[in-house]
Amino acid sequence: MDRRQFVQGAAAVAGASLVGMRKAEAKNIRVLVWDERQPAQKQAYPNFLGNAIADHLRTLNGFDVMSVGLDDPEQGLSSSNLDATDVLVWWGHQRHAEVKVETAKMLIERVRSGKMNLLSLHSAHWSMPFIEAMNSRSIDDALASVPKDKRDTAKVNFIATPRTGVVPKDGPMTPRSSQTVAADGTIQVELHSPACVFNVVDNKGTPGHITTLLPKHPVNKGLPEKWDVPQTEIYGGIFYVPKPDAVFLDEHWDSGESFNSGCDWKLGKGRVVYFRPGHETYPIYKQEYPLKIVENAIRYLGK
């Protein structure tokens, strides 16, 4: 082999190695953990709940992790942060209203376009991004019931359901929709938005008993059929959201309440996953199985 061939060969090997390194780096799932960082969290998480989750994720292979908070510049949701995000993990409880609706719509448009996916935890059922995601999915579902040849011209009259806390057990179902035909032949869809809440909230710190409903669902990988959360808040009854594509966890309490505690929805080109166990005063996100759920959900959403 002459010098020219040697140099060409070495360059080819170096180039292939560089490509291989870049591919390896590209395999890492880019995770943005968002947390409102309210003081009550410090009862169980001295450096805030979101940081605790982020610190755990950094001990695992395959993740590049950022942790941000509501009080950070641009509420932690700058374009540069979001452009570097494959999966957004959201924790919120007491400060939902400080996130603007316009911001939530922007985030969910990123999900719909396939730029990132969303994992919502516990009280984030009432966060602005989760509500916007469920509103968007409700519109998809309502339009799916319109004949295909009428969908492009169908008009949706979106009626926002008041945010009044839990829904009475005899309260109206949401989301719900109905259709009428206008004089010009277009389909008019009246859609009442999902309440994104439930019938019961009870924070006695009693154990939650969880059943793995779909063992083959990626979020349940490595989990036993049944497991407990020693202390948690109860959410019970109907979850007033669009029907999930999969309910992969059931949770029940000794008081008789039960809940769909793991839900998965397709949204445009993206996905939204909800995992219920939580409340910031209990160290739930220091426990093996909840952390495994978070890890699995991020790997699933980050594909």
pLDDT, mean over the chain: 93
Q: Is 185 exposed, middle or buried, given 0-12, 13-18 or 19+ CB atoms closer than 10 A? A: exposed
Res. 11: pLDDT tops 70: no
DSSP H/E element including 103? helix 101-112
Take residue 230 and report the two structure tokens written for it: 């020693």
**Residue in the block written with tokens 């309502």:** 142
When pLDDT is cut at 50, 70 and 90, the band that residue 164 belongs to is confident
pLDDT above 90 as % of the chain: 89
Q: How far is CA 180 from the centre of its chain?
A: 33
Q: Do the beta carbons of residue 152 and residue 166 sit within 8 Å?
A: no
Res. 24: pLDDT tops 50: no
Residues 6+ apart with CB under 8 A from 59: none
Name the least confident of 47-56, 156-165, 216-225, 257-266.
156-165
* Strand runs labelled E in 38-186: 63-69, 87-91, 117-121, 155-159, 176-181
DSSP secondary structure letter of residue 292 = H
**Strand ranges across the sheet with 176-181:** 155-159, 187-192, 176-181
Q: List, in sequence order, every residue forming a beta bridge with 260; answer none if it has no partner.
A: 250
Q: Do the beta carbons of residue 154 and residue 191 sit within 8 Å?
A: no
Question: For the segment 34-47, what is each residue's pLDDT rounded down to a tens digit?
Answer: 999 999 999 999 99
Pairwise CA distance, residues 197 & 4, whole Å = 70
Q: Is 65 helix (H, G, I), strand (E, B) or coil?
A: strand
What is the structure's pLDDT at 25?
A: 53
Mean pLDDT of 153-165: 93
In sequence order, what DSSP letters do the residues of 6-38 get, joined into one string?
HHHHHHHHHHHHHHHHHHHHHHSEEEEEEE---
Mean pLDDT of 81-96: 97
Take residue 168 and report the two structure tokens written for it: 């009475």
What is the structure's pLDDT at 303?
A: 87
Question: For the segment 128-145, what is each residue's pLDDT rounded down to a tens digit?
Answer: 999 999 999 999 999 999
pLDDT above 70 as % of the chain: 91
Cα→Cα distances 67→58, 99, 204, 208, Å? 11, 17, 30, 28
Scored b (16 or more CB within 10 A) or e, 139-159 reads beebbeebeeeeeeebebeee
**CATH class (in words) of the domain with range 22-136+195-301:** alpha beta
Take residue 188 and report the two structure tokens written for it: 């008019």
Every domain range in the chain assigned CATH 3.40.50.880: 22-136+195-301
When pLDDT is cut at 50, 70 and 90, the band that residue 27 belongs to is confident
